[in-house]
Amino acid sequence: MANRRYSCIGLFNPKSPANVGSVMRAAGCYGVNSVFYTGTRYDRAQDFITDTKKVHQDIPLIGIDDLQKILPLGCTPVAVEMVEGARPLPEYTHPDRALYIFGPEDGSLGKEVLDWCEDVIYIPTNGCMNLAATVNVLLYDRLAKGLNTKSGPKFAP
């Protein structure tokens, strides 16, 4: 039977091509299936300067109008945002099929996005991390909890 687990990333109006490139690199490292983004700021500055592994050639990076419209059937939308009522990542059980949604580097996810997300989680830190760092931490947590979707290299002890 095929593996039914997958993860996708949704970027809400990302600003920085450097951070989107780093998100793509993280997507490749942790077996993400696709990355979606909204807004036009990234399109105006598109440059994969930090996607040194050229992951964008293997994992789709797709510009869309509305992240909610691409949500596959049976996929759990998970907002990653520091808001009241959000659950801390260390206590979170990742769904088998998830679309993780991240806000812009210079802002937050609005109520219109948070309202349709089934889960809202945050990474407890002293201060805020940038977008790429946040994506890396979340994806590593998913991997550490046994929910990575694609096989990566195996290292013998």
User: For 18-30, how does the pLDDT look when each residue is reduced to its tens digit (9 = 90+)?
Assistant: 888 889 989 999 9
pLDDT band of 105, cuts 50, 70, 90: confident
Which tens digits make up the pLDDT trace of 111-157? Answer: 999 999 999 999 999 988 889 999 999 999 999 998 765 544 443 34
Which tens digits make up the pLDDT trace of 42-66? Answer: 665 555 555 555 566 677 888 899 9
Cβ contact 78:102 at 8 Å: no
Write down the pLDDT at residue 62.
85
3-state percent breakdown (helix, strand, coil) of the chain, nearest 5: 30, 20, 50
Write down the pLDDT at residue 8.
95
Angle at 57 (CA atoms; ends 61, 42), nearest 5 degrees? 35
Single pTM value for the model: 0.85
Cβ contact 96:147 at 8 Å: yes
Write down the pLDDT at residue 21.
85
Write down the pLDDT at residue 120.
98
Question: Which helix (H) or strand (E) element contains residue 10?
Answer: strand 6-11
Q: What is the mean pLDDT of residues 82-94?
A: 95
Q: What are the phi and psi torsion angles at 143 (to 5°)?
A: -65, -45
* Pairing mode, strands 76-80 and 87-88: unpaired
Give the span between the Cα atoms of 65 and 127, in whole angstroms: 30
Write down the pLDDT at residue 149.
54
Task: Sheet containing 76-80: give its strands across.
Answer: 61-63, 34-37, 6-11, 97-102, 76-80, 119-122, 87-88
Per DSSP, the residues of 65-102 read S-GGGG--TTPEEEEE---TTPEEGGG----SEEEEEE
Instruction: Give all domains of the chain, ordered by start, each with its CATH number.
Output: 6-142 (3.40.1280.10)
For residue 93, pLDDT over 80 is answered with: yes
